[in-house]
Amino acid sequence: MAVGFVLIHANTGEEHDVYNVLLDVPEIIELHPLFGEYDLIGKVEASDYDTLGQVITSEIRSVDGVEDTKTLTGTRF
């Protein structure tokens, strides 16, 4: 399983709309609003890293109002 934490910057005034759309993405298992440079952080789980990348590009970055993302991927110790 691949895990990623996605920091999401939304256009000003569209943060709530972006949040509501992302709540419907099944691979996003946690979604939290933030203060600061990024507006949201989502924990994404997928079967592998290729699928994780597809979710980020197709399901998150393509949402109207998403201006930028930064992804931190998990690993095993």
Q: Give the contacts of 45 (CB within 8 A, at least 6 positions apart).
A: 1, 2, 3, 27, 29
What is the per-residue pLDDT for 74? 74
What is the per-residue pLDDT for 40? 98
For a pLDDT cut of 90, what percent of the chain falls above it? 95
Q: What is the pLDDT of residues 37-74, one digit of tens each?
A: 999 999 999 999 999 999 999 999 999 999 999 999 97
What is the per-residue pLDDT for 68? 97
Asked if pLDDT for residue 77 goes beyond 90, the answer is: no
What is the per-residue pLDDT for 72? 97
Strands of the 28-33 sheet, one edge to the other: 28-33, 40-46, 2-10, 66-73
Give the other-Cβ count within 10 Å of 2's Cβ. Answer: 18
- pTM of the predicted protein model: 0.93
Q: Which residue segments constitute the domains of the chain, with CATH numbers given? A: 2-40+48-65 (3.30.70.920)
